[in-house]
Amino acid sequence: MGDREPLPSVAERLGPLLARLAAHLRPVFLASLERRAADRYLEWARRSESSTQAAGLRRCADREREIAARVEQLFPMRADERDQLGALGPEVSATYPLLFEGRPLADCFAIQAAGERAGAAVWRSLASGQEDPSRCDTLLACADLEEASAGFLEGLLAASGKEGAT
């Protein structure tokens, strides 16, 4: 395994797109990525041979949608700002799936788990800059949701003996 290529990082691949946005648009952009992750979890659940694994993956999808909804509520946007985000859609669509394409499921889980951990760090960072305690609490709750999904995926990897894939 020493000559194995490192797995791609969601944060490294999508960070340049995020950096092009004004700071106040970044949380909603990240929320859109949460929705994409929810779709991926549901696809993995549909392909799962284990009903227990499928149920866990569906719970991960639910958490991703919950994060997106909470963040979108905290950071409402004007129509012109939505257009700015929409303009990044084709680039996200071209970049995001390539992180997972053609990889074994264990690698996909490892990539996603690392992305969940990175997401948790982002929500915690945003929370630290909030003056409103309820906004801070919401963002910290989003971080906890991210970590719950990461923990689930890491548990799958450990159970399959692939924990070294991360």
Give the domains, in start order, of the chain with CATH numbers: 11-165 (1.20.1260)
Q: According to DSSP H, which parts of the chain are helical?
A: 10-19, 26-47, 51-74, 79-95, 105-128, 133-159
Query: At 22, is the pLDDT very low, low, confident or very high (cuts 50, 70, 90)?
Result: confident
Q: In the predicted model, what is the mean pLDDT of residues 20-28?
A: 88
pLDDT tens track for 91-110: 888 888 888 989 999 999 99
Q: In the predicted model, what is the mean pLDDT of residues 112-135?
A: 95
Query: At 81, is the pLDDT very low, low, confident or very high (cuts 50, 70, 90)?
Result: confident
The percentage of residues in the chain with a pLDDT greater than 70, rounded to a whole number, is: 95
What's residue 163's pLDDT?
52
pLDDT at position 6 over 70: yes
pLDDT at position 155 over 60: yes
pLDDT tens track for 34-71: 999 999 999 999 999 899 999 999 999 999 999 999 99
What's residue 60's pLDDT?
98
Which of 13, 166, 10, 146 lies closest to 70 in space, CA to CA? 146
Task: Give the C-alpha separation, 35 to 41, whole Å.
Answer: 10
What's residue 3's pLDDT?
60
- Phi first, then psi: give them for residue 151, nearest 5 degrees: -60, -40
Which of 154, 145, 34 lies closest to 106 in space, CA to CA? 154
Query: At 83, is the pLDDT very low, low, confident or very high (cuts 50, 70, 90)?
Result: confident
Task: Give the C-alpha separation, 104 to 66, whole Å.
Answer: 27
The pTM assigned to this predicted structure is 0.89
